[in-house]
Amino acid sequence: MTATVVSVGDTTIHVDSEGFLTEYGEWTEGLAGQLAARIGIELTDEHWKAIRFLRADYPSHGETATLRRVSTLAGIPIKQLFVLFPGKPAKKMAYVAGLPKPRGCV
Amino acid sequence: MRRLVILGGGTAGTIVANKLRRRLALEDWQITVIDRDREHLYQPGLLFVPFGGREDLRKQRRQLLRNGIQFLIGEVGAVDPEQKSVRLTDGDVVSYDYLVVATGTSSRPDQTPGMLGDEWHRSIHDFYTYDGAFALREALQGFTGGRLVVHVVDQPIKCPVAPLEFTFLVEAFLRGRQMRDQVELVYVTPLDGAFTKPIASRYLGQLLDDRKIAVEADFLVERIDAERKTLVSYDEREIGYDLLVTVPLNMGADFIAASGLGDELNYVPVDKHTLQSVAHPDIFAIGDANDLPTSKAGSVAHFSSDIFVENFRQYVEGVAMTHRFDGHANCFVETGDGKGLLIDFNYDTEPLPGRFPLGRLGPMSLLRETKANHWGKLAFRWIYWHLLLPGRWLPLPARMSMSGKHRPDEEVRP
């Protein structure tokens, strides 16, 4: 995967062609707030619950958690995820959490 | 005598049982396959049933297993990994030294409110089940026009290209009946497009446009209002239909959850290169039953089984497993009018154009509609029963090859 180096605030990060962070270790909580602001989201405790679950789940699972996985394991109803991250919650959560875009099959 | 128990006698379970029966000494190994019913269904054939396909799709599982393999009929209640035993729902207990979970994935219309009910198999249909495919045939025969919606509840699904194939085939079917103008076709998907990988998207997306099939993306259904014939999403969008062809949520077997072996959809988490359970080293999960990040498709069952068989022999001999599955999958994509596409890909390489399997010779074309691809799909039925399931050698390497493939920017068109 080709990555591009970009600056977000004072931070320099590597992202793919769609803007998703490619280096798990480059993410910080401060960066999450800046990434969220870029897509019009102000992070609340509820957002953080989902983001922290995604961050904790990724290293052991090796994939970005799906909405259903977040809902089942973190106890956040899917409907609420649509309220927190309107439109495309799976992609938006991954973007803010600094994880790869959720996979499709084809 | 060491005991290998394989749960499930479908594509993956049958291939693995037959391959290992030839490789493990009969006097040292007892191999047992357990399935809940006697009949093996040729699932790729279901796609053609709604359009009149009438071939017999079923054979007896027992006849497909080599001599020397024990076959038991039984519903699995739970696995006890500590005791190394399988409890069947009739109370019988089967002990194992090594366990292979090959119980696949199943449609679960019960998981979407409003899907199962009076309208199930009347105005709401599926085609991944034997009964569903035949009920849909009846519905299409009686369809007089309106909005026909093809819909996917969520990923992952068995044979992920099948909903698109169905869409292409139903469009051709409607044209053949001179009623295409009376039907609005809509493809509804939870993904951000009908195709998610950029190169396949470019090649295949045009086919949907050409056929005037609308795509409704990012639509995650919350419920179906069967009375109003409407799909309702979590973000409260609504799509009405006259005839709905849905792909229900797919889940692994219930006993996987009851045994604490699965993830949120009852798939067994495994090492994606060895298929070994991450929690219990003497348990492997193959075919659709595991959580591999690739297609739930027969080709993955085939290619990963080749890797698994070699690794399993090393594992039981106490040496390191040296073979690594790369996520290789290939799928024919029927596009109607007697043509089809072929895609070939793995964990790291998206579907690319080119020729398959013999480089420049083909004879199949990747990401391009040809009649040869269609005939290849039909010929696969014979290969499936007579070469693949018996575990015979096939000239298709388990690892994906870049031979014959090229990136579009390298392509030279005549």
Q: Is the pLDDT of residue A15 over 60?
A: yes
| Phi and psi torsions of B330, nearest 5° | -140, 145
Residue B128: left if φ>0, alpha if ψ -120 to 50, beta else—which one? alpha
The pair phi, psi for residue B5, each rounded to 5°, is: -115, 130
Question: What does the alpha-carbon distance between residue B171 and residue B345 come to, in Å, rounded to a whole number?
Answer: 27
Q: Which residues contact B61 (CB under 8 A, 6 or more apart)?
A: B9, B14, B33, B35, B37, B38, B39, B40, B71
* ipTM of model: 0.89
Q: If you search the block for the tokens 């359009």, which residue do you land on?
A: B51
Helix crossing, B198-210 with B162-176: angle to 10°?
A: 20
Nearest CA in chain B to A85: B235
For CA atoms B250, B256, B258, B260, the dihedral sign is negative
> Which one of A1, A5, A105, A106 is the catalytic residue?
A105
Q: Is B269 close to A69, i.e. CB distance below 8 A?
A: no
Contact: A103, B293; criterion CB under 8 Å: yes
Q: Which of A1-15, A72-86, B114-128 has the lowest mean pLDDT?
A: A1-15
Which of B200, B222, B265 is nearest residue A106 as measured by Cβ atoms? Answer: B200
- Grade residue B412 by pLDDT with cuts at 50, 70 and 90: very low
From B235, B263, B343, residue closest to A106, measured CB to CB: B343
CA dihedral B168, B169, B173, B179 (to 10 degrees): -20
Residues of B in contact with A62 (CB under 8 A): 272, 293
**Are B155 and A79 an interchain contact pair (Cβ–Cβ within 8 Å)?**
no
Residue A104 has its nearest CB partner, among B191, B220, B343, at B191
Residue whose pair of structure tokens reads 């309220």 in the numeric block: A83
Name the DSSP class of B261: -
Is B263 in Cβ contact with A69 (below 8 Å)?
A: yes
Mean pLDDT confidence for B14-32 = 97
Give the side-chain half-sphere CA count within 13 A for B99.
28
Handedness of CA B288, B289, B293, B299 (dihedral sign): negative
Q: Would residue A23 show up in a list of annotated catalytic residues for this protein?
A: no
What whole-number distance in Å separates Cα of residue B366 and Cα of residue B343? 5
pLDDT tens digit string along B196-235? Answer: 788 888 787 889 999 999 999 999 999 999 999 999 999 9
How close, in Å, is residue B293 to chain A by CA atoms? 8
- CA torsion B126-B46-B76-B259 (nearest 10°) is -60
pLDDT at A1: 56
A-to-B residue pairs, Cβ atoms closer than 8 angstroms: 55
Q: Is the separation of the CB atoms in B146 and B184 below 8 Å?
A: yes
Q: What contacts B209, CB < 8 A, 6 or more positions away? A: none
* Phi and psi angles of residue B346, each rounded to the nearest 5 degrees, phi first: -150, -170
A88 to chain B, closest Cα gap in Å? 7
Cβ distance B196 to A104 less than 8 Å, yes or no, reads: yes
Q: What is the pLDDT of residue B204?
A: 79
Cα gap B397→B306, rounded to integer Å:
9
Kindly determine whether residue B160 and residue A68, on different chains, have CB atoms separated by under 8 Å: no
Question: Has residue B305 got a pLDDT over 50?
Answer: yes
Question: Distance (Å) from the C-alpha of residue A36 to the closest C-alpha of chain B?
Answer: 20
Q: For position A104, what pLDDT does the model report?
A: 62
Residue carrying the six token digits 């009846």: B138
**Worst-scoring range by mean pLDDT, A74-88, B53-67, B134-148, B189-203?**
B189-203
- Which residues from B are below 8 Å from A when comparing CB atoms? 154-157, 160-161, 191-192, 195-197, 200, 218, 220, 222, 234-235, 263-265, 269, 272, 293-295, 331, 343, 351
Under DSSP, is residue B76 helix (H, G, I), strand (E, B) or coil?
strand
A contact set with B (CB within 8 A):
61-63, 66-69, 72-73, 78-79, 81-82, 86-88, 91, 103-106
Name the residue in chain A with its Cα closest to that of B272.
A62
Say which of B263, B269, B351 has its CB closest to residue A106.
Answer: B351
Indicate yes or no: CB of A106 within 8 angstroms of CB of B155. no
B380-403 tens-digit pLDDT: 999 999 999 999 988 888 889 888
* Nearest-by-CA chain B residue for A81: B234
Contact A106 B197 (CB under 8 A): yes
**Phi, psi at B200, each rounded to 5°:** -60, -35
b/e B379-408 (16+ beta carbons within 10 angstroms → b):
ebeeebeeebbebeeeebebebeeebbeee
CA pair distance B305, B216, nearest whole angstrom: 36
| CA–CA separation, A24 and B20 (whole Å) | 40
Q: How many CB atoms lie within 10 A of CB B182?
A: 12
pLDDT band at B409 (very low <50, low <70, confident <90, very high): low
Q: Which residue of B has its CA nearest to A74?
A: B264
The candidate with the shortest Cα–Cα distance to A98, out of A39, A37, A15, is A15
Taking Cα atoms as reference points, which of B126, B153, B108 lies closest to residue B251?
B108
**Residue B309: φ, ψ to 5°:** -60, -45
Pick from B221, B231, B107, B234: which is nearest to A76 by CA?
B234
